[in-house]
Chain A
Amino acid sequence: MLGFIAARLVKAVFILLAILVLNFVLIHAAPGDPAAVMAGEAGAADEKFLQDLRERFGLDQPFTVQLWNYMKGAIQLDLGFSYRQQMPVAELIWDRLPATLLLTATAFVISIVIGVAAGVLAAQTQGTWWDTLISSLALLFYATPLFWVALMASLLFSVVLGWLPGFGYQTIGANYTGIDRVLDIGKHLILPATTLGLFFTAIYMRMTRASMLEVSRLDFVKTARAKGLRNSVIQRRHVLRNALLPVITLAGLQAGQIVGGAVLTETVFAWPGIGRLMFEAISQRDYNVILGVFFISAAMVLLFNLITDILYGIVDPRIRLTK
């Protein structure tokens, strides 16, 4: 198991390095002067400023030297400087990262818990109206644009009904402390996290349902029935555990989508995370920030992947004991 985790970690490091190379290539592949790209709209017109940049980043040096310097910087978490915000990119991201982690992790957990529970219910009531209802909802959620449902949810629950705050991370100027502050953040979190998780809830519902029905047909379930076990025990102990394996794999693969979706949700709900930061950077053409956020979100995805891999190893002895 330790070897398995170590192998995964090594792989994650390689992927991170590859993403850095990709980032570097993208800056240089962009049409026009890389210095202008890096400066963004902030100083593209100022020739002296560009010359400064070229010297500072060694843009006149050979390509490989530039790549080496870039990688060296990135490993020390130097993700460049935002001329728009007049701050190092790493610092900008560092400020906003906790909010995004909170949002995406909550959405991840909500979607898995609700998705799996509903999927199990649908599989067990196969053919009844419960099943039809859950399967239809899954289809609907799966087809709903994330940003649109976020807009409509904030319109309905915040503007029309006034039940929940539809804006920001906490009540501005309230200065809550302790448990009040937690509750306040929690209230702000509900809408963004559920809308972000909605699409993935649909995926887990469908996957769990299909997987449960698939496993129910396997031979060992027949063996369990031949033992005289109660159906509820068979479902829980034999069917569900096996059916969850593909769901865990899928959850790992979908982690990247959730992080990507955060850009949309954070934009709609003005959630002060790195997604919102990216949106602002897009409109300002602040390339260093865009690439920095891209790098950090990839790192987050790798973290989520690592967690699901370990989870898989815990559930499946074949992975745990042979790898």
Chain B
Amino acid sequence: MRAFWSRFRQNRGAVIGLIILAIVIICAIAAPFLFPRSPWSMVQRPFLPPFEMDGLPLGTDALGRDVLSGLFHGARVSLLVGLVSTVVALAIGIPIGALAGYYGGLVDDALMRFTEFFQTIPSFALAIVLLAIFQPTLAYVILAIAIVSWPPVARLVRGEVLSLRNREFVEAATLSGQSNLRIILRQVLPNALPPIIVLASLMVATAILLESSLSFLGLGDPNVMSWGYMIGAARTVLRTAWWLSFIPGIAILLTVLALNLIGEGLNDALNPRLRKRTS
């Protein structure tokens, strides 16, 4: 663990990413305390530009809502959707990939055809279709994102399991009478974990982007304030109040960037290059 942290720390970008993410998390936690009023409530005249009035440092939007409050409450939605949808996607992708890679043959064929099908479908379009047909509540948004983002997990896990399953230590475990389930859980998956962790950190980032895109199109939960919704609502007033689109976009960009940087740091720390050979 200490070795992991010292390798992670060597990647300066990853540390910066971690700091940014920590700030976003703090904002999300602090939102209900700092802004106890609903981010939907009108607090001032509409189109109040930033830095003009004390107490409203980022001004108000087209309906006189506090932009800063929206930003803080939006952080909650972004992180929640990013995290939960990734967990759900992992919960779908890991078993499918592990079973396909471990059992091979017909099981593999069937599961991989299924995965390939989902990978071929334009994922964003599928998410739109799902949310257009079912009601766009937060739960459905999370589910839709998970449904379109599990195939890469399944493929990665399958590849890892496939290469691990013929390693001699797995064969040795078979010979020593351990059950298949135990072998998958104890021998195979722990060794496949590092790339899964890296992928997961990148998936949280992608999920946040997806959520914001869906909200931008008006397919987000109409009851929760999100960064994508803020940009979508401000789109028509881009010429007159550009900052209303600009500010939430920066928030998305920084959060996603932070997660990507952390992903790279994790990659460096978890998958150190093979030691250089000398002979």
Contact = CB atoms under 8 A, between A and B. Distances in A.
B213 A290 contact: no
A301 to B, nearest CB: 5
Given A139-B257, A143-B256, A259 B125 contact: yes
B135 A31 contact: yes
A143 B252 CA distance: 8
A239 interface: no
Interface in A271-310: 278-279, 281-283, 285, 287, 290-291, 293-294, 297-298, 301-302, 305
B102 interface: no
Interface residues of B, number: 41
A264 B213 contact: yes
Interface in B241-258: 242, 245-246, 249, 252-253, 256-257
Nearest to B215: A147
Interface string A151-164: 11011000100000
A140 interface: yes
B128 interface: yes
Nearest to A291: B129
B120 A302 contact: yes
Interface in B76-135: 116-117, 119-126, 128-130, 132-135
Interface string A128-169: 000000000001101111111101101100010000000000
Contacts of B219: 282
A155 B245 CA distance: 10
A35 interface: no
Interface in B200-218: 205, 209, 212-213, 216-218
A143 B205 contact: yes
What size tier do the contact residues of chain A reach?
35 or more
B231 interface: yes
A277 to B, nearest CB: 12
B26 interface: no
A152 B234 CA distance: 12
A26 B235 contact: no
A283 B218 contact: yes
Given A31-B134, A263-B124, A297-B125, A144 B253 contact: yes
A257 interface: yes
B174 to A, nearest CB: 32
B154 interface: no
Interface string A255-274: 01101110110011000000
A217 B156 CA distance: 23
A263 B217 contact: yes
Contact of B133 (A26, A144, A146, A301): A26
B23 to A, nearest CB: 16
B121 A147 contact: no
Q: Which of A154, A264, A281 has the most CB of B within 10 A?
A: A264
Contacts of A15: 116-117, 120
A145 B252 contact: yes
B46 to A, nearest CB: 20
A26 B129 contact: yes
Given A145-B212, A263-B125, A152 B249 contact: yes
B69 interface: no
Contacts of A18: 117
Given A145-B252, A148-B249, A256-B120, A293 B125 contact: yes
A29 B123 CA distance: 19
Contacts of B122: 256-257, 259-260, 294, 297-298, 301
Given A145-B249, A261-B124, A159 B239 contact: yes
Interface of B: 13, 116-117, 119-126, 128-130, 132-135, 205, 209, 212-213, 216-219, 228, 231, 235, 238-239, 242, 245-246, 249, 252-253, 256-257, 260-261
Interface of A: 15, 18-19, 22, 26-27, 29-31, 37, 139-140, 142-149, 151-152, 154-155, 159, 253, 256-257, 259-261, 263-264, 267-268, 278-279, 281-283, 285, 287, 290-291, 293-294, 297-298, 301-302, 305
